[in-house]
Amino acid sequence: MTTPRLSTDGLTVRFRLRGAVVHAVTDLSLTVQPGELLAVVGESGCGKSVLAHTLLGLLPRNATVSGRAVLDGNTELLTGRVSGVRGRRVGLVPQSPATALNPVRTGRRLLEETLRAHGRPRSDADGIAAAVGFDPADLDRYPHELSGGMAQRLCTALALAPDPSLLIADEPTTGLDRPLVDHTLDLLRRRCDTGNTVILITHDLTAAQRVADRVAVMYASRIVEEQPADALFAAPAHPYTAGLLDALPDRAFRAVPGHPPMLTALPAGCAFAPRCTRATDACATMPDLSGTARCHHPLVEQEVAA
Amino acid sequence: MLDALPRRRVLRLRPGQTGTLVAASVLAVAILACLLAPALWPLDQSAVALDQTRLPPSWAHPAGTDDLGRDVSLRALYGLRVSLLVGAVAALVATVIGGIVGGIAGTLGGPVDRLLMRVVDTVAALPHLLLGIFIVAMLRPSLGAVIASIGVTHWLSTARIVRSELLSLRNRPFIDAAISGGAGRRRILTRHLLPHVLPRLALATTLMIPHAVWHETALSFLGLGLPPHLASLGNMINDGQGSLLTGAWWASIAPGAVIVVVTLAIAALAVRWREYLDPRVRAELQL
């Protein structure tokens, strides 16, 4: 059996605020293998981006983290020194690219700086830019002269420059037109086919369906369902997953009613129960993630078909 | 076709540039005159000519002569030399002190930041001029004492600017992005923080020069600046006070005009420079 690229065990992140505690990530256990593309999906505010920041050690001071996250079986991401790990072994395509670029430096200078810091020649800059669909001629522009989609591609290029074995892409397709979305996704897919690993954080289920090997669905700081992509899209087990799939334009095109709970005031039982049509008294206790879904009343395949 | 257009633009001033050109010319002439003065118009600072006192402006003495028969225009030029030197060096001293204090407070944060900022508040609570006078009185009036007294009292705003800039930069997403790209402390500091702080620091220094010139003038005016026989703009305005009562208004006019014109020119250029340093504004200027 191969060493997993990343394995987390009971990963929990809390933010202390004045008079409240934000439950950002709760008891998250994941394993991603080399060459695998894992999609983490869920509505805004379910803890996806906090997961990315936790793995890169970018959390603010008011955060407390417990649990473990081990990279390649030999590097503790939460307790060890991560300075040599960032960029080269774990890369991040940040969310909101417009603010992730230093406004007083051109794309070329940012890209060349990253390349040089990781021992690659500056001349690679044009090639990397072209690979993500960013015209190398635009590298000499300042960030404010780029469109949202261009900034997004530049951020992807910056994350790819050190060629990280684990790339965490936080909404890497925001602001892109469909052809460019597909281009970026296929680029990530090809990285996995050469033995690298990608964690794709997205709320775009269509994107996940296109390229993911496995999909983990997050709701209110927990993983509520984790399955191989084919199985999940064919037969979701958790009612929330089924609801998300129903919201797709080529399916029922019907959003899940209601809103996700506040992360400062999560119920003791299943957090989805208030929005769930299948909820019963049993849902007042927290279900385990047994099998594929964290649910007392998972859907079985016939129901999905119906 | 692309070659032809920009060339025409070089010669044609865009709106708002006339002022910049005037300010730059004034400053260039002033600095050049200061540099060349000893060679072109040598002046014995202690020489007096009691037979030529209080002569009104004429071709021989473009700004007249003072109580002791000294040429006001020439002494104003020598005064400007002193004032510009004092202003530039004092502004540099203030920037270095302020940059170090603000830099430490902004990068370390926490208790160090709180302690340093209380020191800043304490110094700010004392009147600048009073503190400056105290320092000069302790050190005896000399060029070094004047520079020290201005530098030591004027680093507060620079420290605050650098600190707040660093504190706000630390939380900007592009710093996180650089860290996640593998940048270490030093690279973050030199490549991502300094490019933001340095232009502001340079601008603060430039804007401090006219202020320091005024401060030197004020100290000299109070008799605490340079020794009275040495020409400085403050000394001259101070001397001219007495002449004003006897009708020799010109003794104060020349040094006063010089200080107003030169400080305005520096301030105008600094404002223009600030616009240029922002890539956003620069792009608009190039349209």
Q: What is the mean pLDDT of chain B?
A: 83
Residue among A104, A114, A144 minimizing CB distance to B181: A114
Encode pLDDT of A134-183 as tens digits.
999 999 999 988 998 899 999 999 999 999 999 999 999 888 889 989 99
Residue of A nearest to B181 (CA): A87
**ipTM of this predicted complex?**
0.84
Of the candidates A52, A59, A48, the one whose C-alpha atom is nearest the C-alpha of residue A218 is A48
Question: How much of chain B exceeds pLDDT 70, in percent?
Answer: 91
Rounded mean pLDDT of B207-232? 81
Rg (CA), chain B: 23
Encode pLDDT of B29-44 as tens digits.
999 988 888 888 777 7
**Sign of the dihedral defined by the CA atoms of residues B81, B85, B87, B88, in that order:** positive
* B90 membership: H or E segment, kind and range: helix B72-108
Find which of B174, B187, B193 to mutate to test the A interface (most A CBs within 10 Å of its CB): B174
Domain boundaries, chain A: 6-305
* pLDDT band at B210; cut points 50, 70, 90: confident
Residue A117 pLDDT greater than 60, yes or no: yes
Instruction: Note whether A162 and A87 are within 8 A (CB).
Output: yes
Domain boundaries, chain B: 22-34+69-285
User: Do A58 and B179 make contact, defined as CB atoms within 8 angstroms?
Assistant: yes
Name every chain B residue with its beta carbon within 8 A of the beta carbon of A96: 173
* pLDDT band at B248; cut points 50, 70, 90: confident
* pLDDT computed for residue B8 by the predictor: 46
Instruction: Note whether A151 and A97 are within 8 A (CB).
Output: yes
Encode pLDDT of A259-304 as tens digits.
889 899 888 889 999 999 889 999 998 998 877 889 998 988 656 5
Decide the pairing of beta strands A6-17 and A166-170.
unpaired
From A66's Cα to the closest Cα of chain B, the distance in A is 21
Distance CA A115, CA A97 (A): 19
* pLDDT computed for residue B71 by the predictor: 86
* CA distances in angstroms from A185 to A175, A180, A245, B22, listed in the order given: 14, 8, 20, 56
Name every chain A residue with its beta carbon within 8 A of the beta carbon of B176: 53, 58, 94, 100
Encode pLDDT of A35-56 as tens digits.
999 999 988 888 899 999 999 9
From B154's Cα to the closest Cα of chain A, the distance in A is 28
Top CATH class of B22-34+69-285 equals mainly alpha
* pLDDT computed for residue B10 by the predictor: 47
Q: What residues contact B202, with CB distance under 8 A and at least 6 apart?
A: B273
Contacts for A204-207: CB closer than 8 Å, 24+ residues apart:
A204/A41, A204/A173, A205/A41, A205/A244, A205/A245, A205/A248, A206/A248, A207/A39, A207/A173, A207/A181
* pLDDT computed for residue A66 by the predictor: 94
- Of 3.40.50.300, 2.40.100.10, 3.30.1340.10, 3.30.479.30, the CATH number of A6-305 is 3.40.50.300
Distance CA B216, CA B222 (A): 10
Token couple for A284:
């007042």
| DSSP E strands, chain A | 6-17, 20-32, 37-41, 63-71, 75-76, 90-93, 166-170, 197-202, 214-219, 222-228
* pLDDT computed for residue B282 by the predictor: 66
